[in-house]
Amino acid sequence: MVNLSVLPNINNKFQNIFHTKPKNIAIPTAIIAGVSVKLKSQPTEDSFELTQKSENLNNKKFISEFIYGNNPSIENVMKTHDFTQYGKKGIPLKYPRENFVSDLNNSLNGLSCDAKKNILEKFNLRENLDIDGIAKVNKSLELSSKEQNINSIIEKFYSNEPNIKDENVNKAINTLIKGMPEFNMTIGKVQHGTHIYSVDIHTMQVMQKSLNHPDYETLSNEDKAVLKLAILMHDFGKNGKVVTEGHASQSKIDAQKVLENYNIDNNIKDRVLNVVENHHWFEKYNKGIINAKEVKQIFKTPEDLKIAKIMAKSDLEGISSGFHKWIMHTSTQEEFDKLFYSKMDEINF
């Protein structure tokens, strides 16, 4: 059995989550960040054209190179770089989260709790044990001087740059945070005790494990894009330092706002949001709360079910090096894989 002394402290909430005992490649016209896509058998940089809606070259680069995988160097970084080395501190940034939060708090000093809440709500933020939410830049022309200061702090944080010595890793992360600046809000956000990584490092772990999953290369380009976008935003709704009940629903709300920044086909958008909202489906299935038929009703198509299966395994494994084995009452990765895949085989169209 697993030596529990080597695992992180397990919050009581998680001790009863699982009760299992051992025993065509085609580019859609869909996902574009302010760009339009031509149908081709293989996506190329030339297949993306700027529209009049947006001239955001960072979005174009993000979709082409990060989401559709047109940059082999970025794909390699995401598959191989050891993100766990950053632990709870998160990806190194030139303007780190601790400075961002400190600057926000200093700007809010002297205000009542209600006044703080009202101001933060204008920027889609909330104050708990941490500064939570996915900040938005407020474009209103009627901001007070204090609100203008907060706006400038958010703009500074969103125009961030990674501070990583490895040039290829630095470029890959820069492509991500420039193309989806809201992702900065997860960087360095400390989670509750069960998680040994910050939200961003957990997310990078889920991404890496998904890209290395044996079924990943069987996905179409469109399906890979849905998976990657869902992974990046699946924990947007988490509050720092505490277990956040219902964070999947909040993540969907936040993800929907972020997706408005891109010119994305509604069908693809709905697929991404559905995966985000239901990324804890395996917990319910494993506890018998939902059955195989109901899982298929949630994800509706074989493609989305495959995406959900890949992400479920990666999400569970991305908590720590041993939590997933402990929760499934297995001692080794081999035992865990065998048990997990046997459960996945129970659900097929």
Q: Where are the domains of the chain?
A: 4-48+190-344, 97-158
pLDDT value of residue 302:
97
Q: Per DSSP, which regions of the chain are E strands?
A: 31-32, 35-37, 48-50, 126-127, 131-132, 263-264
Q: Which two tokens stand for residue 127?
A: 């104050």
Q: What is the pLDDT, as a whole number, of residue 25?
A: 39
CA pair distance 238, 188, nearest whole angstrom: 13
Cβ neighbours for 31, distance < 8 A, ≥ 6 positions apart: 37, 63, 67, 68, 222, 225, 226, 229, 262, 264, 265, 268
Would you write out the chain's pLDDT as a tens digit for each of its 349 residues? 444 334 444 444 433 444 444 444 344 444 444 443 333 334 333 333 333 344 488 988 998 999 999 999 999 999 999 999 999 999 999 999 999 999 999 999 999 999 999 999 999 999 988 999 999 999 888 999 999 999 999 999 999 999 999 999 999 999 999 999 999 999 999 998 788 899 999 999 999 999 999 999 999 999 999 999 999 999 999 998 877 778 999 999 999 999 998 877 889 999 999 999 999 999 999 999 999 999 999 999 999 999 999 999 999 999 988 999 999 999 999 999 999 999 999 999 9
pLDDT confidence of residue 139? 87
Q: Which DSSP string do the residues of 96-110 spell out, in sequence order?
A: -HHHHHHHHHHHHTT
Q: CA 153 to CA 104: how far, in whole Å?
A: 7
What per-residue confidence (pLDDT) applies to 147?
95
pLDDT (0 to 100) of residue 342 = 97
- For residue 300, the model assigns a pLDDT of 95
**Residue 167 identity:** E
